[in-house]
């Protein structure tokens, strides 16, 4: 399998950062961090509005490549990171 490119790495890091932020929010509220969930919409907005990707079609390609590699799974509204 090919290594991740710079755009893919940036999008993966953005997803990891969102998970970390949501886990910290749960911990601060007295809840277990395992309940953290990131919506697909939040991740896409982070990548598109954060200018990590040029447009939604690029983000869709990144997402498909992550699914194909087994890095993420889409469950309803949420992105699960593996």
CA distance 82 to 67: 10
List of domains in the chain: 6-81 (1.10.10)
Q: Is the dihedral of CA 46, 73, 17, 60 positive or negative?
A: negative
Which pLDDT band holds residue 2 (cuts at 50, 70, 90)? Answer: confident
Q: For the segment 15-60, what is each residue's pLDDT rounded down to a tens digit?
A: 999 999 999 999 999 999 999 999 999 999 999 999 999 999 999 9
**3-class SS at 70?**
coil
Q: Taking the chain, what is the end-to-end CA distance rounded to the nearest angstrom? A: 16
């Amino acid at each position: 399998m090919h290594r991740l490119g710079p755009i893919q790495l940036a999008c993966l890091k953005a997803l990891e950062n969102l998970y970390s932020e949501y886990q910290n929010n749960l911990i601060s509220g007295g809840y277990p961090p395992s309940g953290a969930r990131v919506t697909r919409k939040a991740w896409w907005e982070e990548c598109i509005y954060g200018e990590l990707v040029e447009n939604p079609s690029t983000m869709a390609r990144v997402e498909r490549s992550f699914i194909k590699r087994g890095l993420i799974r889409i469950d309803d509204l949420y992105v699960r990171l593996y």
